[in-house]
Amino acid sequence: MVADNSEKSSTKSVANGSLISTVSCKDELPNAIIVTQVPEDVFDNTEDKANFSSLFTAIEKGIHFDFLRSFRRVRVIFRLVNNFLIDLKKNYSNS
């Protein structure tokens, strides 16, 4: 991981030698998630693909999907970071 040493973020060293950056502005936040272990049906069946996609398009209409069949993953790219954060909180706060 490459650390940004600009004024926007501060970098801290941790025990295993990797770096942790503190996010200080919204522009530094990720705008994508990678969904793993996606069932094969999502790649093979257009109805299943549409159902999968609708889970995210309910939050934002302009989402981009990269279906990575060989890895059984889907990268979901949000246009707005706020929508990404809403989805992240909604889907992962109960885990």
Q: Which CATH superfamily is domain 31-92 in?
A: RRM (RNA recognition motif) domain (3.30.70.330)
Above pLDDT 90, what percent of the chain? 37
Hunting for tokens 């954060």 — which residue is that? 85
Three-state secondary-structure class, residue 20 = strand
Neighbours of 47 (CB within 10 A): 9
User: Using one digit for the tens of pLDDT, what is the confidence trace for 1-12?
Assistant: 333 334 444 555
Residue 20 confidence (pLDDT) above 60: no
Above pLDDT 70, what percent of the chain? 62
What residues does each domain of the chain span? 1-28, 31-92
One-letter identity of residue 69: R
User: Using one digit for the tens of pLDDT, what is the confidence trace for 28-56?
Assistant: 777 888 999 999 999 999 999 999 999 88
Distance in angstroms (rounded) separating the CA atoms of residues 21 and 1: 10
Question: What was the pLDDT predicted at 60?
Answer: 84
